């Protein structure tokens, strides 16, 4: 892991940005206290409305008198929770199916591969919009599961391809003739070698989930209730016409936070690929 | 068939194409119909609103509508009925909102706008991305190039709908340089006049820009990566040893080899065109398939939504099918086995 940081600057920068964002999300209760004391960030009418950014309100306040910076930290927390929850579930699905498909091969492999291709081409957003629009109560977990259902296919293909190539390596044959069973081979020989690809699958499915959630919020069919995400903040800022009226912080703060999330995930992916894809290493390593 | 490997491959590939379309649509159909919504109720309410009076004796009428909209009987029966309509009659069923006009009429009306706007924007982004990505990869050691690469990396993660929101509020609302919604000025008659074409271009500029200014950076990054990986190939050392000029190597060896995988990428993203269209078209209320889709969803117009989803699935699958069948002809390195 340490050498990974040294070998890829992209990876290091990506982990640094993402780590910082996660830290902010984890420390949300403390940061909230620093920003606005013991006030509920979601409570309306706490402050004057539509204030410009200032010492007291770093990003100003919104139309309902809420501190935008405190909301941003809370929104970041919810967005990351939804993203990682969904990304983890999606990665689990893709790992299980990818392993079964790649390791067992044969007829089962063809069936699973065709199923994956089907899920890959289903236009997910229309279905997500429909489901989100007509189910009244939507918990964070339900949202994450729904997003995961449509974001595992890409990771499954990556992992299956890797399992296929790893399976043919001599050390796996060695493990097989030394009478290790399938589970032992998978967990002791294959999984350690696949960790970087699991990282790629996790980072990309998490990014896809956050992206989709933001899309749903923009159309106005997010989880609702008291759940404020970065996407919902973009939606609010847009509906108040904040750019046209000159309240730039309201729109740009959540947009920048989202872009930072996407950039960091992308950097991590590119870094992992740079280190573990030998075809690229020859050039970039030199 | 046995002694004709190419024919066997093509037949197998087309069978898989049909199977995948069927499977993807079937999953989408049942997922969509599991949503607890009542399209007939929504339709009756919208009728009542439109005519300002309650509909009498509604139970019978609702039954009749249910039948003509293909919503009577259990789910599997509705499914079979739908397949029968689509496959044997090329009929996507009546639009619920504008009953009894068939849904395909609205879809085909919306299609040229999406294909024109997004197809053009996608191709422009690809060309720009390919050119600049090629240059950045070729000059990968210069500090300016790595700076620009870093910036492109950030901009490639700006989503088209963020750009759409920014452009809309800045150029349409604040500066009022461009129209805010629609695809043309409705006061100008629809005809091949300069006035109408100008209005179409004016209305399309911002939506197209929001796609070009974001997705082009994605192509820059992927083209650059492709070029950098080609720069490690042995045949470039040979070309250099032959004494070829740098520009000739770039044009004839590097870009040529980078182009094929990038064209594959372009074809696939043209297949996925509808995904990008949904949010951008909705933001600009551009009358393409994406806007039609979000509108139909909010009115529970099952037939229109299903039709668009089916079309989108067919589009993506056809793009990949054509690639798989044509690539071996264009690129001798792609074996028929490898493309399966």
Residue A94 lies in a domain: yes
Residue in B294, B216, B161, B156 with CA at minimum distance from that of residue A251: B161
B151 touches A: beta carbon within 8 Å: no
Q: What percent of chain B has pLDDT above 70?
A: 88
C-alpha B287/C-alpha B108 separation (Å) is 11
Distance from CA of A281 to the nearest CA of B (A): 9
Across the interface, of A115, A219, A255, the residue whose CB is closest to B162 is A255
- Per-residue pLDDT at A220: 82
Instruction: Give Rg (Cα) of chain A.
Output: 22
Across the interface, of B32, B165, B232, the residue whose CB is closest to A130 is B32
Cβ count within 10 A of residue B127? 14
Q: What's phi and psi for A246, nearest 5 deg?
A: 95, 10
Residue A178 lies in a domain: yes
A134–B159: do the CB atoms touch at under 8 Å?
A: no
Q: Which two tokens stand for residue A117?
A: 């291709």
**Helix axis angle, B194-231 to B120-138, nearest 10°:** 30
Cis link prior to A91 (omega < 30° from 0)? no
Mutate to test the interface with A, among B146, B173, B218, B232 (most CBs of A within 10 A): B232
Mutate to test the interface with A, among B136, B231, B297 (most CBs of A within 10 A): B297
Within 8 A of B36 by CB-CB distance, chain A residues are 134-135
B24–A118: do the CB atoms touch at under 8 Å?
A: yes
What is residue B69's DSSP assignment? T
Provide ipTM, 2 decimals.
0.79
| Residue ranges in chain B whose pLDDT is less than 50 | 336-340
**Three-state DSSP state, A138:** coil
Distance from CA of A114 to the nearest CA of B (A): 7
pLDDT averaged per 10 residues, chain A (length 286): 74 93 94 85 83 84 89 95 95 92 87 89 82 74 88 87 83 82 80 84 90 88 82 90 83 93 91 71 37
B175 touches A: beta carbon within 8 Å: no
Within 8 A of A258 by CB-CB distance, chain B residues are 159, 162
Distance from CA of A37 to the nearest CA of B (A): 32
**Helix axis angle, A153-167 to A191-219, nearest 10°:** 170
Residue in A270, A282, A135, A281 with CA at minimum distance from that of residue A199: A270
C-alpha A43/C-alpha A197 separation (Å) is 43
Distance from CA of A153 to the nearest CA of B (A): 13
C-alpha A286/C-alpha B149 separation (Å) is 18
A263–B157: do the CB atoms touch at under 8 Å?
A: yes
Where residue A16 sits, what CATH number does that domain have? 1.10.3720.10
Within 8 A of B309 by CB-CB distance, chain A residues are 122-123, 126-127
8 Å CB contact between A25 and A268:
no
Residue A82 lies in a domain: yes
Q: Alpha helices, DSSP H only, in B242-301?
A: 246-249, 256-271, 273-284, 289-298
Length of chain A: 286
Within 8 A of A119 by CB-CB distance, chain B residues are 24, 27
Residue with tokens 């509906």, as numbered in its chain: A239
| DSSP helix, strand, coil percent of chain A (3-state; round to 5) | 75, 0, 25
- Per-residue pLDDT at A278: 56
CA dihedral B211, B216, B219, B225 (to 10 degrees): -140
**Three-state DSSP state, B94:** strand
Angle at CA of residue A125, ends A122 and A127, nearest 5°:
70
Distance from CA of A224 to the nearest CA of B (A): 17
B174–A243: do the CB atoms touch at under 8 Å?
A: yes
- Per-residue pLDDT at A279: 53
Express each pLDDT in B255-307 by its tens digit. 888 888 888 888 888 888 887 788 899 889 999 999 998 888 877 788 888 88
Within 8 A of A126 by CB-CB distance, chain B residues are 278, 293, 297, 305, 308-309
**Three-state DSSP state, A36:** helix
C-alpha B111/C-alpha A79 separation (Å) is 34
**Which domain, by its residues, includes A121?**
2-37+56-284
Q: Which two tokens stand for residue B110?
A: 């919306």
B20–A122: do the CB atoms touch at under 8 Å?
A: no
Express each pLDDT in A107-160 by its tens digit. 999 999 989 988 888 888 888 887 887 776 668 888 889 899 888 988 898 888
B35 touches A: beta carbon within 8 Å: yes
- Per-residue pLDDT at B55: 63
Residue A45 lies in a domain: no
A121–B313: do the CB atoms touch at under 8 Å?
A: yes
Q: What's phi and psi for A42, nearest 5 deg?
A: -90, -15
Residue A49 lies in a domain: no
- Per-residue pLDDT at A284: 35
User: How high does pLDDT run on average in chain B?
Assistant: 83
| Residue A122: closest C-alpha in chain B | B24
8 Å CB contact between A112 and A265:
no
8 Å CB contact between A249 and A68:
yes
Number of domains in chain A: 1
């Amino acid at each position: 892991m340490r050498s990974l940081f040294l070998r890829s600057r992209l990876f290091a920068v990506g982990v640094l940005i993402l780590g910082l964002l996660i830290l902010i999300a984890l420390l949300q209760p403390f940061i909230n206290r620093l920003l606005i004391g013991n006030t509920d960030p979601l409570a309306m009418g706490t402050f004057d409305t539509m204030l410009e950014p200032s010492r007291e309100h770093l990003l100003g306040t919104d139309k309902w008198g809420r501190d935008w910076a405190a909301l941003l930290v809370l929104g970041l927390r919810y967005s990351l929770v939804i993203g990682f929850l969904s990304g983890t579930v999606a990665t689990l699905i893709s790992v299980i199916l990818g392993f079964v498909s790649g390791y067992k091969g044969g007829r089962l492999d063809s069936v699973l591969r065709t199923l994956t291709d089907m899920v890959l081409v289903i236009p997910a957003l229309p279905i997500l919009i429909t489901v989100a629009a007509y189910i009244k109560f939507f918990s964070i977990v339900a949202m994450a599961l729904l997003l995961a259902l449509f974001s595992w296919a890409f990771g499954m293909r990556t992992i299956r391809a890797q399992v296929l190539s790893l399976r043919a390596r001599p050390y796996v044959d060695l493990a097989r003739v030394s009478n290790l069973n399938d589970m032992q081979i998978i967990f002791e020989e294959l999984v350690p070698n696949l960790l970087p690809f699991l990282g790629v699958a996790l980072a990309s499915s998490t990014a896809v989930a956050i992206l989709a959630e933001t899309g749903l919020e923009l159309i106005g069919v997010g989880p609702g209730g008291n759940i404020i995400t970065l996407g919902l903040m973009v939606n609010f800022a847009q509906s108040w016409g904040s750019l046209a009226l000159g309240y730039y912080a309201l729109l740009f703060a959540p947009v920048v936070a989202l872009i930072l999330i996407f950039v960091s995930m992308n950097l991590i992916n590119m870094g992992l690929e740079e280190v573990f894809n030998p075809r690229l290493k020859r050039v970039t390593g030199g | 068939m046995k002694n004709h490997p190419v024919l066997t491959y093509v037949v197998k590939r087309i069978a898989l194409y049909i199977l995948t379309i069927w499977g993807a649509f079937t999953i989408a159909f049942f997922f969509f119909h599991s949503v607890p919504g009542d399209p007939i109720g929504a339709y009756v309410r919208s009728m009542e609103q439109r005519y300002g009076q309650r509909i009498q004796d509604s139970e019978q009428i609702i039954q009749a509508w249910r039948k003509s909209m293909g919503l009577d009987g259990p789910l599997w029966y509705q499914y079979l009925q739908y397949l029968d309509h689509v496959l044997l009659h090329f009929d996507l069923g009546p639009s619920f909102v504008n009953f009894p006009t068939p849904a395909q009429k609205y879809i085909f009306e919306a299609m040229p706008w999406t294909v024109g706007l997004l197809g053009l924007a996608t191709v422009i982004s690809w060309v720009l991305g390919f050119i600049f990505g090629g240059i950045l990869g070729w000059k990968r050691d210069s500090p300016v190039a790595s700076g620009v690469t870093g910036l492109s990396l950030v901009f490639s993660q700006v989503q088209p709908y963020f750009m759409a929101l920014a452009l809309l509020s800045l150029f349409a609302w604040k500066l009022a340089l461009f129209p805010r919604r629609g695809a043309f000025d409705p006061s100008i008659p629809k005809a091949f006049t300069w006035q109408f074409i100008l209005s179409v271009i004016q209305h399309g500029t911002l939506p197209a820009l929001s796609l070009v200014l974001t997705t082009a950076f994605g192509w820059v990054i992927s083209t650059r990566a492709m070029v950098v990986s080609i720069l490690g190939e042995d045949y470039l050392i040979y070309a250099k040893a032959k004494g070829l000029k740098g520009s000739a190597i770039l044009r004839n060896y590097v870009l040529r080899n980078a182009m094929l995988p990038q064209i594959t990428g372009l074809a696939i993203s043209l297949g996925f065109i509808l995904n990008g269209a949904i949010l951008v078209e909705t933001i600009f209320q551009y009358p393409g398939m994406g806007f039609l889709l979000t509108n139909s969803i909010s009115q529970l117009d099952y037939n229109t939504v299903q039709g668009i989803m089916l079309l989108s699935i067919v589009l993506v699958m056809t793009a990949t099918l054509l690639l798989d069948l044509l690539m071996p002809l264009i690129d001798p390195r792609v074996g028929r086995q490898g493309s399966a």
